């Protein structure tokens, strides 16, 4: 996509740090008066919309090799973000380049894909709307209109701030109001805005937006040269601003976005017997139920609480006299841990790679006051057992082996499972390629791991099969490994 042309009224930001101003007096000022003062200091009394251009970078939050810090990043060029505060609505576009692992260099031959993000009144969730209200201009406009705006003082790293707080009209699933805090510095402009959003893994997830080095755009409107966002303490999005338009005449055109894709209808869960006491549960994500003498083990909780509850219900139907004792989490990407919220309230022990143990314990121990799920209602402390290299569950009827996978870029905390008597291998995200795509580099690593562990199998159950009924064979996996090595040999 080509860079948008700039209208005559657009001006380059003047990259000058604001000069110090005397601190505003707090006494004899109510919250709305301080907000009005900040709006004047920001030069935004007549601001109704803004469009800015520059570059951006996004981190692979929830899908990174190390699930907490050290996120890989993806550059976005030809970046344009437009916000209309009167609707409210937002539209961001650009050209997004492939993720670059931390410490690696971007390929000069990498091809971008279109970046397109839109928020409208038709997307009334706080997770989307906060994209508008955690900007410095949106925050102050919301604070001026809110009925519950409050003013306090607080120190951050020893620096005093006046803190403006208010709640949007939206309510959390629990029925509680959301809350925003904005931190006004000594010059009367915002350094930071924070809020909390309901998240299936992090509970009440902390969201922070930081604004650096304000400069003057047209009409004296203050615009930060850099905006960065943190989710759960991790920096996940950074914008570097080069130009800004205030109240652009073509705002309606800039806000035009393609209709969001219609998500496919969820596939219902169904079960397939692979061996005595071993069932594959199909649907959008595949799980495996394994029966032992006195209990049941679930491999993969699923992508959501709803899926996790469905898996538990099927386990109860198939094994009515036995309880689920363990749920095995293959790796900590959010779409593979979200279903744990159905298991933890039941006191079921989570088995995961030792690299993920602290993350799972900490994430599912966070407050969940904004959510209305089973864990929010029962407030159970998660029981988590970490696998360092290998782990075996065994009794007189069954043996299940779990193994860590080394040298994997996809996740540093990956487990695979193996049933030796049944010669069944179970993995997540070692997937066959879609038609026309290359074999992923993870496949040779999996084969190397299987060879090292002397694992021989007939059937390979994958969490993401090509089709709901597809069950990979050993020969198919070996063929993928040969295809992955062929380009290097040529």
The full set of domains in the chain, from first to last, is 11-254 (2.50.20), 270-489 (3.60.15.10)
5 contact partners, CB below 8 Å, separation of at least 6: none
Helix/strand/coil for 29: coil
Position 101 scores a pLDDT of 72
Under a CB-based contact definition with an 8 Å cutoff, are residues 368 and 203 in contact?
yes
Tokens of 441: 């580099």
Tokens of 253: 């055109």
Structural element, H or E, at residue 131: helix 126-133
Tokens of 164: 């403006």
Identify whether 33 is preceded by a cis peptide bond (ω within 30 of 0): no
Under a CB-based contact definition with an 8 Å cutoff, are residues 58 and 236 in contact?
yes
Q: At what angle do helices 442-453 and 474-489 cross, to 10 degrees?
A: 120
416 contact partners, CB below 8 Å, separation of at least 6: 330, 402, 403, 405, 425, 426, 427, 430, 446, 449
Dihedral pair phi/psi, residue 13, rounded to 5°: -65, 140
Position 469 scores a pLDDT of 80
d(CA 465, CA 468): 6
d(CA 89, CA 255): 7
Tokens of 292: 């032992």
Residue 362 burial (10 A CB sphere; 0-12, 13-18, 19+): middle
- Specify the residue for token string 């705006």: 149
Tokens of 240: 């570097």
d(CA 443, CA 477): 8
Position 29 scores a pLDDT of 57
β-pair partners for 456: none
443 contact partners, CB below 8 Å, separation of at least 6: 430, 477, 480, 481, 484
Please state the pTM of the whole predicted model: 0.89
Dihedral pair phi/psi, residue 461, rounded to 5°: -90, 120
Position 103 scores a pLDDT of 65
d(CA 362, CA 360): 6
Position 487 scores a pLDDT of 53
d(CA 365, CA 74): 30
If you compute the radius of gyration of the chain from its CA atoms, what whole number of angstroms results?
A: 26
**Closest alpha carbon to 220 in 36, 8, 43, 52:** 43
Under a CB-based contact definition with an 8 Å cutoff, are residues 48 and 86 in contact?
yes
Dihedral pair phi/psi, residue 322, rounded to 5°: -125, 145
Taking 70 as the pLDDT cut, the residues of the chain under it are 1-29, 102-104, 486-490
Dihedral pair phi/psi, residue 235, rounded to 5°: -70, 120
Position 198 scores a pLDDT of 98
Under a CB-based contact definition with an 8 Å cutoff, are residues 82 and 109 in contact?
no
The distance from CA 235 to its chain's CA centroid, rounded to whole angstroms, is: 12
């Amino acid at each position: 996509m080509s860079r948008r042309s700039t209208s005559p009224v657009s001006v380059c930001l003047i990259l000058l740090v604001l000069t110090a101003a005397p601190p505003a007096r707090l006494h004899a000022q109510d919250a709305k008066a301080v907000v009005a003062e900040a709006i004047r200091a920001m030069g935004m009394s007549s601001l109704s919309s803004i469009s800015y251009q520059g570059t951006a970078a996004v981190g692979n939050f929830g899908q990174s090799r190390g699930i907490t810090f050290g996120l890989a990043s993806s550059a976005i060029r030809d970046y344009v973000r437009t916000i209309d505060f009167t609707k409210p609505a937002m539209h961001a576009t650009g050209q997004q380049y492939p993720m670059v692992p931390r410490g690696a260099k971007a390929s000069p031959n990498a091809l971008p894909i279109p970046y397109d993000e839109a928020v409208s009144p038709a997307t009334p969730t706080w997770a989307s709307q906060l994209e508008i209200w955690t900007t410095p201009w949106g925050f102050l406009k919301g604070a001026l209109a809110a009925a519950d705006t409050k003013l306090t003082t607080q120190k951050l790293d020893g620096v005093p701030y006046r803190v403006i707080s208010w709640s949007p009209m939206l309510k959390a699933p629990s029925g509680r109001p959301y809350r925003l805090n904005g931190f006004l510095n000594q010059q009367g402009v915002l350094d930071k805005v924070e809020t909390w959003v309901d998240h299936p893994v992090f509970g009440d997830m902390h969201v922070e937006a930081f604004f650096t080095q304000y400069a003057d755009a047209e009409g004296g409107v203050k615009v930060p040269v850099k905006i960065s966002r943190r989710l759960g303490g991790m920096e996940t999005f950074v914008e570097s601003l080069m130009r800004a338009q205030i109240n652009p005449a073509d705002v309606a055109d800039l806000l035009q976005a393609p209709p969001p894709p219609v998500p496919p209808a969820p596939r219902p869960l169904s079960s397939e017997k692979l061996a005595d006491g071993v069932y594959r549960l199909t649907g959008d994500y595949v799980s495996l139920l394994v029966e032992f003498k006195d209990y049941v083990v679930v491999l993969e909780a699923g992508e959501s609480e709803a899926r996790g509850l469905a898996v538990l219900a099927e386990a109860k139907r198939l094994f009515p006299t036995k309880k689920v004792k363990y749920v095995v989490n293959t790796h900590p990407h959010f779409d593979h841990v979200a279903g744990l919220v159905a298991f933890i309230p039941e006191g079921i022990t989570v088995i995961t790679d030792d690299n993920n143990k602290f993350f799972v314990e900490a994430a599912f121990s966070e407050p969940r006051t904004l959510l209305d799920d089973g864990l929010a209602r029962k407030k159970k402390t998660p029981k988590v057992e970490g696998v360092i290299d290998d782990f075996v569950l065994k009794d007189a009827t069954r043996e299940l082996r779990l193994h860590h996978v080394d040298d994997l870029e996809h996740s540093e905390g990956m487990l695979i499972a193996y049933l030796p008597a049944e010669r069944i291998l179970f993995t997540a995200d070692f997937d066959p390629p879609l038609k026309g795509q290359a074999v992923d580099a993870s496949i040779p690593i999996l084969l190397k791991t299987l060879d090292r562990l002397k694992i021989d199998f007939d059937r390979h159950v994958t969490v993401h099969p090509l089709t709901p009924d597809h069950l990979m064979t050993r020969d198919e996996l070996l063929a993928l490994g040969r295809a992955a090595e062929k380009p290097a040999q040529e």
